[in-house]
Amino acid sequence: MVHGETNRIRGQAAVRLLLGMGLWACAGIAVADTPVAADDPACPSQDFTRFLQRFADPADDRVRLRYTSDPLEYEVPMHTVRDDHEGLAPTHIVLEQGAARLKRFSYRYLAAFNLFVPSPVSRDPAALEHMRAGTYNAPTRIEAIDDNGQRVTFGSDAERDTYTFARRYGCWMLTRASNLRD
């Protein structure tokens, strides 16, 4: 009787193992058929202003990662690159690749205040208090540059950063960042 009992227990264990493997395999198929939306977000909006708000979301950098050109054109004043800049073009363009390109868009959208602010400001308690009081000035200008492009300027004339977005692959792509501050 002990031998029969052992075979029955082994049989039950084998059935459990096969059921477990079957469930595991089915779960694997379900996961494989699920779109990879978390890693590759769809275009958040065809409306540029809404797209920009999602692009600058401080809590989620997936849109910035997906919709920033690689390489990204980064434009700076020539005198910041070379001492012997006399007679050269006034600006210099660097092609930023990989993770470095993501550092070139340093503004975040704070929905609670309907403001775009420099990334460090988005975490500054004193600046947040000024925003609550309505005394924080954060100029933002969005202008169409052609049928397929938008230029975004953050800051005033003396202290500004400019970003160029173009329509590509059915969405907006950041194609150039310009920091022409002296």
What are the counts of helices (DSSP H) followed by strands (DSSP E) for the chain? 4, 8
Q: Which of 113, 109, 156 is nearest to 134 (CA)?
A: 113
DSSP type of residue 42: P
CA angle (95, 99, 104) in 5-degree steps: 60
pLDDT per residue as tens, the chain (182 positions): 555 555 544 555 444 443 444 433 443 333 322 223 345 678 999 999 999 999 999 998 999 999 999 999 998 876 666 666 566 666 778 899 999 999 999 999 999 889 899 888 888 889 888 888 888 878 899 999 988 999 999 987 777 899 999 999 899 999 999 886 65
Does the model's pTM come out above 0.85? no
Q: 137 phi and psi, to 5 degrees?
A: -100, 120
Q: How far apart are CA 102 and CA 87, in angstroms?
A: 32
Q: How far apart are CA 117 and CA 55, in angstroms?
A: 13
Burial of 110 (0-12, 13-18, 19+ CB in 10 A): buried
